[in-house]
Structure 1
Amino acid sequence: MFDDFRIYAELGCRHIADLAGYDHILFVAALAIPFRIRDWRRLAILVTAFTFGHSITLALATLQLVSVPSQLVEPLIPATILFMALDAYTSATPQRPENPVTLQRYGVALLFGLIHGLGFSTYLRALLGTEESIALPLLAFNVGLEIGQLLILSMVLAVGAVLVPAVLQRRRWVQLCVGVTGGLALLLLVQRLGAWS
């Protein structure tokens, strides 16, 4: 039982960190952009709200209680990244130097987690194959996803702490991260919308 849990947790962690599917990495990075290392506790809870959201739809879709066409889900994922990147940019204006985690931000993370969970579900269904019970694999996979997300957050916050203000002003750091995450999200969005035609 423990071995099965460990295997699915590792698969979840690897899936979130897979550079071939970098859209989920971009989302977590975009979520972290406007925050400082001192905000890590609040940010970890925010990411857990995202995890809670994708756990719900991941479970529902894996159990085949919810079915949303991938043609709809796939473009929505980069749209969520683009939204978070733009939100990070507006959150870092001089008029708003601090970026507290608000109830609204938790709601957005939860909502976008629902969308990302639908994206994860295809992969997990393929992994489960003929498993009789999916409760343990589903839980373990989500634990692995959460660990992977927290590692990504740690890296973004650590790089930001090293570069700001020694190399870059905080505003420049935010602009650079927004440009990278938002630009890649826009590229993904165009590609996925183009796949419809």
Structure 2
Amino acid sequence: MNEFFIYLQLGYKHITDFNGYDHILFVVALCAIYRITDWQKILYLVTAFTIGHSVTLALAALKIIDYSTNFIEFLIPVTIIITCFSNFFHRSTESILFPEQFSPSRYFLALGFGLIHGLGFSNYLRSLLGKDQNIIPQLLAFNIGLELGQLVIVSMAIGLSFLLLEGFKVKKHSWNLILSAFVAGVAFKLMMEKWCF
């Protein structure tokens, strides 16, 4: 199999693997306040997150920046908790006819937290690359794989949201609070496990 597709597959499997559920939790928390009709806002958010983690994934994989792995592993659940905390203060519109309000701060949050998550992804990628001299094709393939996996996660989260909101008539605000509280609880446990101070 072509090396490009091997790394693409590895990137896809890395983000969708439930053993590395911290990144899945973050993406779910990021999308929790939206419904399926807000797909453009979700796309912008995911793009901001992608830009952030692509930058640090490349810099770390190319060994341009150095960092403490333990500290990054601790910071990732912190980003999830902060995202969930911001969700608690979001006032959802209950009608499908009225889209969620545009919040530029949320996009900067996704971009900034993407930088941290990129360093988390790079731990795995660097262990795969070894001492390869030219890692640009592998880096690109791995990143594309991550994005494909991320889109699958977003689609599942928004699909579940649609089913509950439109099928079972769960209130939007209630669903946001339930989902965000659950994700924050799991992330808090993970943060305690990764405590590095």
Q: 1:182 aligns with which of 177, 181, 184?
A: 184
Q: Residue type matched to 2:38 in 1?
A: D
Aligned to 2:103: 102
CA contact (8 A) 1:53 1:110 kept: yes
Tell me the TM-score normalised to structure 2 length: 0.91
Aligned to 2:51: 52
CA contact (8 A) 1:30 1:84 kept: yes
CA contact (8 A) 2:38 2:99 kept: no
Unmatched 5+ residue regions in structure 1?
none
**Equivalent position SS for 1:34:** coil
1:120-158, Cα deviation, whole Å (9 max, x unpaired): 111000111232211111111111111111111111110
Q: Residue type matched to 2:125 in 1?
A: L
Aligned to 1:128: 129
Aligned to 2:174: 172
CA contact (8 A) 2:35 2:162 kept: yes
What is the CA–CA distance in structure 2 between the aligned matches of 1:19 and 1:110, rounded to whole Å? 23
What is the CA–CA distance in structure 1 between the aligned matches of 2:99 and 2:183, rounded to whole Å? 21
Aligned to 1:152: 153
Aligned to 2:86: 87
Q: Residue type matched to 1:128 in 2?
A: L
CA contact (8 A) 2:93 2:172 kept: no
Q: Residue type matched to 1:111 in 2?
A: G
Q: Residue type matched to 1:81 in 2?
A: I
**Equivalent position SS for 2:194:** helix
What is the CA–CA distance in structure 2 between the aligned matches of 1:51 and 1:83, rounded to whole Å? 18
Q: Residue type matched to 2:159 in 1?
A: A
**Equivalent position SS for 1:164:** helix
Q: Residue type matched to 2:151 in 1?
A: L
**Equivalent position SS for 2:167:** coil
Taking the TM superposition and a 5 Å limit, the aligned residue runs for 1:35-46 are 35-46=34-45
**Equivalent position SS for 2:176:** helix
**Equivalent position SS for 1:187:** helix
What is the CA–CA distance in structure 2 between the aligned matches of 1:153 and 1:62, rounded to whole Å? 26
Tell me the TM-score normalised to structure 1 length: 0.91
CA contact (8 A) 1:13 1:146 kept: yes
1:18-56, Cα deviation, whole Å (9 max, x unpaired): 100100000000001000101112212211111111111
What is the CA–CA distance in structure 1 between the aligned matches of 2:12 and 2:87, rounded to whole Å? 25
**Equivalent position SS for 1:22:** helix
Unmatched 5+ residue regions in structure 2?
none
Taking the TM superposition and a 5 Å limit, the aligned residue runs for 1:5-44 are 5-44=4-43
What is the CA–CA distance in structure 1 between the aligned matches of 2:53 and 2:10, rounded to whole Å? 16
- Which runs of at least 4 in structure 1 moved beyond 6 Å after TM superposition? none
CA RMSD after TM alignment? 1.8
**Equivalent position SS for 1:10:** helix
What is the CA–CA distance in structure 2 between the aligned matches of 1:100 and 1:151, rounded to whole Å? 24
